[in-house]
Structure 1
């Protein structure tokens, strides 16, 4: 078979796989039923908040957690911050015995989010009484800017979550807290950059509240739910079991959250997804910071591909779960192949069509069918999520806005190709340092300091 025909055939296979996956995640998402709630009083609750230079947000986050959840213990891990993060937490801890500071110092600090969480796990284990019921102790991980929904613990205590002893970990839905901000960037920026910032923020909210949520709904059926870095809940006894099997609960991947979820299942527990509660976090209105975040996630996914042999050998992963995990972990490599295959297949098709038709102009006249084909197979699988988002989340938005979001979301998803190339480059060069994404308020404070000096 000629190389051009091989490229077209492989591109067609990848297209069919992609469209099938979209259908597989769409159906469970649209059919899902509301989850029942439980009694949070049956459990002990602890929240880990990993921090590095988070003085702009950590004070408000502690106050929010302690006000919304009076019985929760808040463990703030200061990962050798250069700002006043530690002193803010110390001040809060001095007046509230439910607030705890876990301090890390160089050279042992700044080794990644997983290392910081492991330190908090060890400190909590020493702090708890020896007779504590660790199977009824739940640890949540919340970002320094995270905002847990008021019903978070009620959902986590429900019969489909930790009231079921088989559940080892759970992931809450993620919303963007600044999705409706009129000026996501500080006031010095032009109207064009403000509009671009609003666009990026809205696209991230669509992404998390539809596409990623739909992926998790499919994983509920395949028993392969993935954990996220924000709004992640774990049964302490499950963390104990993972630690016994592999040394620490969290490991060294840049996608330490998903990595933990894999280890929880390998340890014999199940993960679940809680769509009826959520955690809010800041969306990034900056292209540079968004790509920094996504490159880290993508590289972490590539690193986690090493678990595929363990996943296939484990009796704790279902066949469907193994297939779903395989597709997810190999997706960055499939996208890398697509960067070469899609243009090659398109060029080969145009070239052969031009030769057959006799000229490029005649081929264009005869190939009118390409436009609806591209709409159906290339744009609609992305744009449909914006339409669903309008129906489920933003009903006040006009149809015109939803259509604009649909095309915008299609274009937004091309950032994954930039991210995957940069992630592969870092992987090849052996760069695996954890790069912190600056908060929006932190960026504004840096500008203020620059003006004052």
Structure 2
């Protein structure tokens, strides 16, 4: 080291060491705070999951059902989806929203409609199409409203949202209208459970090698554990706190609840947010803020196909994380709302801040490592002493940050696969623990997209699709 640089460094030794110590201590305290916050939420979810009791099915004939299926280039799945929905809901009207598909989706729907008068096509064309799922749902809402005969009791009309690859469990409508859900007139919306129907697929990537298929199987299984155990526990906790979140697949909304949102200024005919990446969750926030009760039903599920590509998975989850960050604008309204109890406000804030917490940790960690590396090069003795004192605790805090996720593996085994060995549940738990760290990756990517003003919305391609059909749609920032 040159003498001039050595003198400069020596003069600032104390300040540098103090700065490095403060940043490292701040990171340690932050990680402990994050872990404690996560542990409280996890414990509440776990308790709610273990103590959930089944409800008595209701009578679907007491309500009028309209199931909406948003579609964009879904020729690979739409025919099977319509057949499955008709089998589960023989009296329901099925509204397929074709968002200007470039494949045979429209023709397949029209063929189904020719054989079934309760199948309807909602046709959208650019430039009004491909601007987000919320806009597509709003188009169906307007068509259904116009189609209903005058004098219809709109409080008895329920609109369901099912993905183009979604399949409802038998008895779903009976559970959605049970006396804890749509059987209560103050219930505005119901979210059912979600499961991955390809979780038992031994070769999710036909034609690929063992390693690729093993990785894809693990990814599929983790998505199934996430939805059937972890997310189910979260929703049951939210049911207690009054802050249930709606998802893009398997949500059911009372028509009068949607009507109440369109009554707001500037939202005529548009109950779903149209410029949102998480229009499903935001619509739930809007309904709750309007005073409607939301609940979650565990007795019924909608199945969907889990993604087998890590690239598509990370793209999808980045969009979710970015949409979550967009929800921060609701913070003031939620805190001021008389419809949210204190526990509900705390849960919503936890959800809002989850990706922000991850991003801060991602920023602080390399900063701390960089200062530590510089310290070891310039002041090895003092820096080594500090790291010996605090380094192990920082490493332990990072490892423990998502360790409770391990327990969802055995819980999933008991619920979904009681015949499998306990070792399988433990293995799934360990994989879920490692899988949870993807949140740091997608949250960081989402933050970068926000900073760059990139708010584009693009459909997640199905596993059967080899190439993307159509250009992704860009939402204006």
TM-score by length of 1: 0.91
**Unaligned runs of at least 5 residues, structure 1:** 447-453
Question: Could you tell me which of 337, 347, 350 is aligned with 1:314?
Answer: 337
Instruction: Tell me the equivalent position of 1:202.
Output: 221
Q: Deviations over 1:202-230 (max 9, x none)?
A: 00000001111111011001100000000
Q: Distance in 2 between matches of 1:103 and 1:59?
A: 17
* Secondary structure of the structure 1 residue equivalent to 2:159: strand
2:103 matches 1:83: yes
Q: Which residue of 1 aligns with 2:116?
A: 96
Deviates more, 1:413-422 or 1:206-215: 413-422
- 1:437 matched to 2:456: no
Q: Secondary structure at the match of 1:145?
A: coil
- The aligned residue for residue 245 of structure 2 is 226
1:214 pairs, out of 227, 233, 238, with 233
Q: What residue number does 1:295 align with?
A: 318
- The structure with the larger Rg is 2
- Check conservation: 1:379, 1:407, Cα contact below 8 A: no
Where do residues 365-380 of structure 1 align in structure 2 (5 Å cutoff)?
Answer: 377-378=400-401, 380=403
Conserved? CA contact 2:168–2:301, under 8 Å: yes
Runs of 5+ unmatched residues, structure 2: 1-17, 470-477
Distance in 2 (CA, whole Å) between partners of 1:402 and 1:374 is 23
Partners in 2 of 1:174 and 1:225 — Cα distance? 14
Asked whether the 8 Å contact 2:97–2:122 carries over to 1, the reply is yes
1:106-255 aligned within 5 A: 106-185=126-205, 187-245=206-264, 247=267, 248-251=270-273, 252-255=275-278
Residue 369 of structure 1 deviates from its aligned partner by 8.5
More displaced 10-residue stretch of structure 1: 10-19 or 264-273: 10-19
Shift of residue 402, structure 1, vs aligned partner: 2.3
C-alpha RMSD over aligned residues: 2.5
Say whether the 8 Å CA contact 2:461–2:468 is kept in structure 1: no
Q: What displacement does 1:8 show?
A: 2.3
Q: 1:346 to 1:430 in 2, by over 3 A?
A: closer
Distance 1:168 1:345 in 2: 48
Q: Residue 40 in 1 paired to residue 60 in 2?
A: yes
Instruction: Return the alpha-carbon distance in structure 1 between the equivalents of residues 53 and 409 of structure 2.
Output: 21
CA shift at 1:188, angstroms? 1.4
Could you tell me how far 1:418 is from its partner in structure 2? 1.3
Q: Does 1:325 find its partner at 2:348? A: yes
Shift of 1:397: 2.3
- Helix, strand or coil at the partner of 1:442: coil
Deviations 1:366-413 (A, max 9, x none): 9989998776x3453111111211121122322332222222111111
State the distance in 1 between where 2:328 and 2:144 align: 31
Q: Structure 1 residue aligned with 2:47, among 27, 50, 55?
A: 27
- Cross-structure match for 1:451: none
C-alpha change, 1:9 and 1:367, in structure 2 (3 Å) is: closer
